[in-house]
Amino acid sequence: MEELFKPELMDKLYSKGEMVQLWEDSYDDRPLTLQLWFHAGQRKEGCMSLALFYEGEPLYQIMFWLAKNKTDGKNVIYIGALQGPQNGNELIKGMTKAFFGYRTKNLMFYGLRCFAKAIGVENIFAVTNDGYYAMNHVRVDRKLKTDFGAFWQECEGVICSDRRFYIMPTAEHRKSMEELKPSKRAQHRRRFAKMDEMKAAVKSAVDSYKK
């Protein structure tokens, strides 16, 4: 981080305990923001979080850290956890509809992809069910509350030789209008416009802190 960012960013996150806003929107006329955040209680899962806040309360979080790839020395991101709401099914359904059928956790991961692109990271490594240290995503009956592997595969992830991680592309595959049914094209056009807005906002916010 010291190689990539000005000292002000580390000071905000780690000394002052402040959040750094990367994107803002609204849902049901209430604020929805994407923030960089550090929570000391989550440091085993990452050196910072990308958190989606709704009305000032965290809705989704991805905890991650930056590292050097051992094979080529390039910067990479390791995702240590993905956490969603405990009892927010109706909220998530409504938000998914408002964002043109784009699920909230996909929107969340897209935000991280935008962050990765903004800092020049080409590869994201995402923790598997086997690699997650806390295992608190497994219910008492041992069934998964969150199947990390299934979600990473949906996002075009490929399991690594180190079975603790999937390797994820930073770019999300986007279907062309010709690939979509005519009835779906207007919805996807609006969705893609919203995603492009997020990408531009994240890049602008990150660029202001880059060296």
List the CATH number of the domain containing 89. 3.40.630
Over residues 51-68, the mean pLDDT reads 93
1, part of any domain: no
- pLDDT higher than 60, residue 147: yes
What is the pLDDT confidence band of residue 30, given thresholds at 50, 70 and 90? very high
- pLDDT at residue 137 in the model: 46
The label of the residue with tokens 């049914």 reads 181
28, part of any domain: yes
Higher local confidence (pLDDT), 29 or 134: 29
193, part of any domain: yes
Mutual orientation of helices 104-118 and 182-207 as an angle, nearest 10°?
A: 40
Pairing of strands 30-37, 165-169: unpaired
The label of the residue with tokens 């509350």 reads 145
196, part of any domain: yes
Q: Which residues contact 174 (CB under 8 A, 6 or more apart)?
A: 192
Q: Burial level of 48, CB count in 10 A (0-12/13-18/19+)?
A: buried
The angle at the Cα of 13, spanning 12 to 16, to the nearest 5 degrees, equals 55
- pLDDT at residue 21 in the model: 97
The pTM score is: 0.89
The three-state secondary structure class of 143 is coil
Q: How many domains does the chain have?
A: 1
Distance, CA of 68 to CA of 87 (rounded, Å): 37
- pLDDT at residue 166 in the model: 94
170, part of any domain: yes
Over residues 55-80, the mean pLDDT reads 92
52, part of any domain: yes
Pairing of strands 75-83, 123-127: parallel
64, part of any domain: yes
Q: Which residues contact 75 (CB under 8 A, 6 or more apart)?
A: 4, 66, 67, 68, 69, 119, 120, 121
Over residues 120-125, the mean pLDDT reads 93
Over residues 59-72, the mean pLDDT reads 91
What is the pLDDT confidence band of residue 138, given thresholds at 50, 70 and 90? very low
- pLDDT at residue 144 in the model: 47
Tokens of 165: 């991680």
What is the pLDDT confidence band of residue 3, given thresholds at 50, 70 and 90? very high
Beta bridge partners of 31: 26
Range of the domain at 90: 7-207
- Lowest pLDDT segment from 41-45, 108-112, 136-140, 151-155: 136-140
Mutual orientation of helices 89-98 and 104-118 as an angle, nearest 10°?
A: 60
50, part of any domain: yes
Q: Which residues contact 68 (CB under 8 A, 6 or more apart)?
A: 74, 75, 76
